[in-house]
Structure 1
Amino acid sequence: MDREFEEVKNSWVNNHKRDSNSENEPSLPNLSYMQHSNNSEEEVPLEISDYDNSWEVKYMDDTILNCNVNITKYDSIRGFTLMALGIICATVMHVCARTAFARNPELTNFDTFSFIGYILPIFYLIAARIKGVTVNLYYFEEKIGFMILFRTLASNFMHIFLFAGFKYMSDAKGTLIFNLNPIFCIIIAFFVVSERINALSTAVIIGSLCGIYLFGLNESYSETIGLLGYLLVFVSSGIYGCILVLIRLLNIRGVHYLVPPFYIGVMALVTTGVVTIFFPTHISMEYDSIDILYLGLYGLAAAGAQLCLNAAFQYELAITLCLCQYLERVLILLVDILLFGYAFSIIDIMGISLIILCIATLIIVKII
């Protein structure tokens, strides 16, 4: 296998040499993470294709990892479609969690989070085996393994900070602050993966945040809002912006989209164990069959959301896809109106219209 790896690597270098003085060409994909032991047949690229501003790696199961710098309209369509499916999965998570909380007031956010730990590792391990992909960090280059672990820890702490922060503020204010994450994503992506900041992205962020603010005007609340709540949610927003850039970066480096979510599930399982042992009052762990049904569906929807999110970033820039998440707020509000009797007003309609207008403009500009 070492010899086959070297042949693939040398073939790539010899056939696709670039002018060393070119500053705008993307760097060649680092294939060293694909080097395995002699007994492994996983993740060996059979075909590597180079285009003007993109590259593809094709695997034994015909999976193609495509990370484009020059993104075509067909790539954008695939990216937007996967993000839309991810948003639908996230909305299903919201419905399952809200229904479970209504049935059993003793449940906490850590109960829903625990089912991510129960389901994601099994789901992604099976999927990886079927696709012939290894999830063993031993097979990855040290730098790649560090990025996977960093993304795993970042995702874990983001959820913890978010759960804690929402205890100190209303859902409307917390949601508005958390949805600042595209600002962090755009700034980090500019420095890390050289994605350009443009006027359209800035306008979409401002318009969508205004729409989310309008949602909050119709919410009544009386809880005391402290600085700690603002700080925790703000930090979680920044972490999520960083995570989105890491997803794109890992895709650029050729890491299969099934790998990072596996470790997110493992870390969620570890966190559940820590909370259960040291902070037992923060998790219920007492479920009837209906609770297990809803929480299980929540975990499966989380697996689907992670799958779509990680796959989408193969085809489109981080600064573009991070803006699509604003549609999640629209879909969740519509579900609350239809299923949970949320009393909407003209202000909510204005907010929905503003967000849809912003995202639709973004998609049309990218595709046409």
Structure 2
Amino acid sequence: MDQESEKHLIQDTKPRKKSHHVESFSIEDSLIVSVEVDSEKEILKTDRVKGILLMSISTICFVMTISLCKYAYLINENVNGLDYILFRGSILILFAGCDVLCRRVNVFRFPQEVYASVILRFFTGAIGMALYFYAIKFLPMSQGSVILCINPLISAVLAYLFLKEVLACRDILCLLGAFGGCVLVNISRIGEEGVSPSENHYFIGICLCFISLLFRSTTPVTVRQMSKYVHSIFSPFYFSLGMFCHAMFLLIFCRKHLHFEHYDTTTVLLFTGSTIANYGAQSIMSVAYSYEKATVLAPFTYIITCGLLLIDCVFFGYDFSLLYFVGFCIILFCVMTPLLIKINKE
């Protein structure tokens, strides 16, 4: 080895001092990362606000949907849930089809990840909603809605199992507390005038609501999963398609239970308004779930119950006991507490 090569080798093995240029780059890089993290937090906060706002609007539309349908039942005793589902399914598919054409979205092509969600939305969404509207023919609106208050408990568990969304212990306790409030509400009506264990219609309504609950508990999970991979129009479209197929089934196999001859202008207008409000609710809800987790938005189901309880008391003349209101307040407290804690923390 010559002297020149040896000299270069010695220089290469000496420890090198860190240059100021490299150090300044490191500081600048960390500042950029810090700004990016702060920006991501701001985006998450904005998305949460958007999700909650949209879900609130969706719940108002759901209240309008149910109230208009119930009012139609009260002023025209000859129509029932079967009539409403037939009418609604036929109109919903028209709205959904026009919406898809206007947005130019191919709703028949979707990734493999949402196959199960699309099938569940098609079947369970339509069946669950149909059973609920059968039930409110026999129950106060808020009574049926309170039974569905167990929905977020099941939805949160499903979101934890299938979407890997975190469910804190306080959330579980609050949801169980809400379930307890639901039990109080249902017990409170037994023994009231016109409501007894021998009242078949009352208990038919309750049973239909519980079956509806099992089907509808999949809604937040399926809509949230679909929102990750496909356009927000997919959820209302497949829900509407399911309702339409249900309506055609009724038309073919249950025609003798339908009452076309008793439809009047007011009933048609109320059913139409209810259908429009429902399509708006479904569309807005699907967008809301693209902004926020199912475990955060699912409890907004209880706001629907608040609105329906108010309408039942003020407009439809239902009287409820003190125990009913105690149970209702427990439900409201247990649902809103974890939501407010999450918002304050973040």
Q: How high is the TM-score relative to the length of structure 2?
A: 0.75
Change in 2 beyond 3 A, CA 1:230/1:154: same
Match of 1:303 among 252, 276, 279: 279
Taking the aligned partners of 2:66 and 2:145, their CA distance within structure 1 comes to 13
1:291: how far off? 0.8
Amino acid paired to 1:267: G
Taking the aligned partners of 2:296 and 2:185, their CA distance within structure 1 comes to 23
Matched, 1:237 2:213: yes
Task: Tell me if the contact between 2:151 and 2:217 (Cα under 8 Å) persists in the aligned partners.
Answer: yes
Match of 1:363 among 319, 339, 344: 339
Q: What SS does structure 2 have at the residue aligned with 1:151?
A: helix
Matched, 1:210 2:180: yes
Larger radius of gyration: 2
Q: Within 5 Å, give how 1:51-200 maps onto structure 2.
A: 72-130=44-102, 132-137=103-108, 139-162=109-132, 175-200=145-170
Long gaps (5+) in structure 2: 1-35
CA offsets per residue over residues 169-189 of structure 1, 9 Å max, x none?
997875554332222212221
Taking the aligned partners of 1:292 and 1:149, their CA distance within structure 2 comes to 31
Task: Tell me if the contact between 1:327 and 1:359 (Cα under 8 Å) persists in the aligned partners.
Answer: no
Taking the aligned partners of 1:123 and 1:173, their CA distance within structure 2 comes to 30
Match of 2:241 among 266, 285, 297: 266
Q: What SS does structure 1 have at the residue aligned with 2:260?
A: coil
Instruction: Give the superposed CA RMSD.
Output: 3.3
Amino acid paired to 2:129: H
Taking the aligned partners of 2:207 and 2:163, their CA distance within structure 1 comes to 27
CA offsets per residue over residues 3-50 of structure 1, 9 Å max, x none?
xxxxxxxxxxxxxxxxxxxxxxxxxxxxxxxxxxxxxxxxxxxxxxxx
Task: Tell me if the contact between 1:93 and 1:302 (Cα under 8 Å) persists in the aligned partners.
Answer: yes
Q: What SS does structure 2 have at the residue aligned with 1:180?
A: helix
1:116: how far off? 2.8
Q: How many residues align?
A: 301
Taking the aligned partners of 1:229 and 1:340, their CA distance within structure 2 comes to 18
Q: For residue 346 of structure 1, what is the aligned residue in structure 2?
A: 322
CA offsets per residue over residues 256-305 of structure 1, 9 Å max, x none?
11122122222212221221221123332331111111000010111111
Task: Tell me if the contact between 2:70 and 2:137 (Cα under 8 Å) persists in the aligned partners.
Answer: no
Q: What SS does structure 1 have at the residue aligned with 2:291?
A: coil
Is the helix fraction higher in 1 or 2? Answer: 2
Long gaps (5+) in structure 1: 1-50, 56-67
Task: Tell me if the contact between 1:181 and 1:237 (Cα under 8 Å) persists in the aligned partners.
Answer: yes
1:247: how far off? 0.6
Q: Identity of paired residues, percent?
A: 25
Taking the aligned partners of 1:225 and 1:111, their CA distance within structure 2 comes to 18
Q: Within 5 Å, give how 1:275-294 maps onto structure 2.
A: 275-286=250-261, 287-294=263-270
Change in 2 beyond 3 A, CA 1:74/1:363: farther
